[in-house]
Structure 1
């Protein structure tokens, strides 16, 4: 019964990957030792830069800064993907990091400006403050959860591949329906694990700790929709209703 060996192989991959994801999720759920003050913050104390980082990471902070400067007519964002400086004076470290990414002629492609601003010291300092407050996940926790999810996805592919292989080899009288039923069990486990991970972590888990997620959920409940800066901080460029702005920041 060669198909039984394939089934055992599938179960081994599923159990190992699900265990990896559960351990990573448990580590990410443990609050930081010094997060007492940060965890007690009210959602109205979370500024837009902090919300953008917790919701979408450094890239979201850079996009929020670009859009905020565009709203103030201090920066022009063209639908062609180019940005032009109007006011060369930054009002905060994030704006100065954006302006510093432009060339001497005051023009640059939006992706280049966004990438430079996302890597700037201002974003790193913001991330450090949020981690110290217990609102942002450490890099190790983020990579652990992402790695666990990838492992479960690979295990899902393994189950499908071994099930297909089991149907292609002689089954010693065992019907194809019986074989598929046996392989359906590990498949249900992986799909269920991915669904739970998606439900529990959507949409802020990549960057926010459980305490940070609670602040974002509370802020999201009062946020405006459409083109508001709060909506962009929480949901990204897809919250924009202006197609020209979406094209500029895409």
Structure 2
């Protein structure tokens, strides 16, 4: 009966994940949809938010300032201010996150800039225009990911139960059927969610996703700076062409004792 010890967590994982998804769907339904502003023209900051959220906006700002030589992003993971005058709220947020010394690690700058008032205002405008999903809908996307993880977990526990030595009077098919019940629960929730609220995205509403797609199609085939930044906004730092600049975002945090040496 050791397999029962695996069946209980399988039910617990599946039940909790489905419950969270149902609660998120209820909150999203109560919030209701926002009217879509079909005449809205996306800025690069807005496209970055819809494609990747607040941190993507911070990444785009850093890359944009670095390409204009107003910010130096070293491959070692440090950001240095060259021009302390920000041209918009996002650039001023980045410069403020770097601090009065004019130099800081990139990782905390990204985190601080992503939580700045400028990004929150941007998010509110997009939600009001019906292009970004409210917090409740964002919870649906997270809930779907949780149910997917639960389904995989149930399968793994079922396989582990089948691998256990069993007495002759306990058929393995019966044990598989017991694990099929929580798996059916998770797959059923995913199927219902797909029919009711698909496409689900963490940041962009269906209208926002269409605008981002149109922006990418318009930028494809051109080689100007805006097309480059559009690619970064939509695809993230992996779209950065310069190896040194891309390495600046991939650089891992060092031990505190090493930072002053690298900074020097």
TM over 0.5: yes
- Give 1:111's aligned residue: 107
Closer, same or farther in 2 for the Cα pair 1:19/1:59, shift >3 Å? same
- Give 2:120's aligned residue: 124
Structure 2 length-normalised TM? 0.73
Q: Does 1:55 align with 2:82?
A: no
Provide Cα deviations, 1:103-146, integer angstroms capped at 9, x if missing partner. 33321111122122111111111011111111111123213431
C-alpha contact (below 8 Å) 2:31/2:136 kept by paired residues: no
Closer, same or farther in 2 for the Cα pair 1:34/1:186, shift >3 Å? closer
Residue 73 of structure 1 aligns to a residue whose secondary structure is coil
Closer, same or farther in 2 for the Cα pair 1:90/1:4, shift >3 Å? closer
Closer, same or farther in 2 for the Cα pair 1:167/1:108, shift >3 Å? closer
CA distance in 2 between partners of 1:30 and 1:214 (Å): 24
Q: From 82, 102, 109, give the equivalent of 1:86.
A: 82
Which stretch has the larger CA shift, 8-17 or 85-94? 8-17
- Give 1:21's aligned residue: 21
- Give 1:96's aligned residue: 92
Q: From 198, 210, 217, give the equivalent of 1:221.
A: 217
- Give 2:64's aligned residue: 68
CA distance in 2 between partners of 1:77 and 1:48 (Å): 20
- Give 1:41's aligned residue: 39
C-alpha contact (below 8 Å) 1:49/1:61 kept by paired residues: yes
Closer, same or farther in 2 for the Cα pair 1:162/1:31, shift >3 Å? same
Closer, same or farther in 2 for the Cα pair 1:47/1:30, shift >3 Å? farther
C-alpha contact (below 8 Å) 1:224/1:230 kept by paired residues: no
Instruction: Please give the residue correspondences for 1:133-144 in structure 2 after superposition, counting only pairs within 5 Å.
Output: 133-144=129-140
C-alpha contact (below 8 Å) 2:24/2:136 kept by paired residues: no
Closer, same or farther in 2 for the Cα pair 1:58/1:6, shift >3 Å? closer
Deviation at 1:52, TM superposition (A): 0.5
Aligned CA RMSD, in angstroms, stands at 3.6
Closer, same or farther in 2 for the Cα pair 1:2/1:248, shift >3 Å? closer
- Give 2:249's aligned residue: 249
Provide Cα deviations, 1:65-121, integer angstroms capped at 9, x if missing partner. 111111111111111111111111111111111111223332111112212211111
C-alpha contact (below 8 Å) 2:93/2:118 kept by paired residues: yes
Deviation at 1:6, TM superposition (A): 7.3
Residue 98 of structure 2 aligns to a residue whose secondary structure is coil
CA distance in 1 between partners of 2:15 and 2:155 (Å): 11
Task: Note the residue ranges of structure 2 that are not aligned, 5 or more in a row.
Answer: 251-264
Residue 41 of structure 1 aligns to a residue whose secondary structure is coil
CA distance in 1 between partners of 2:21 and 2:116 (Å): 31
Which stretch has the larger CA shift, 87-96 or 26-35? 26-35
Residue 80 of structure 2 aligns to a residue whose secondary structure is strand
Instruction: Please give the residue correspondences for 1:181-220 in structure 2 after superposition, counting only pairs within 5 Å.
Output: 183=179, 187=183, 190=186, 205-220=201-216
C-alpha contact (below 8 Å) 2:154/2:179 kept by paired residues: no
- Give 1:150's aligned residue: 146
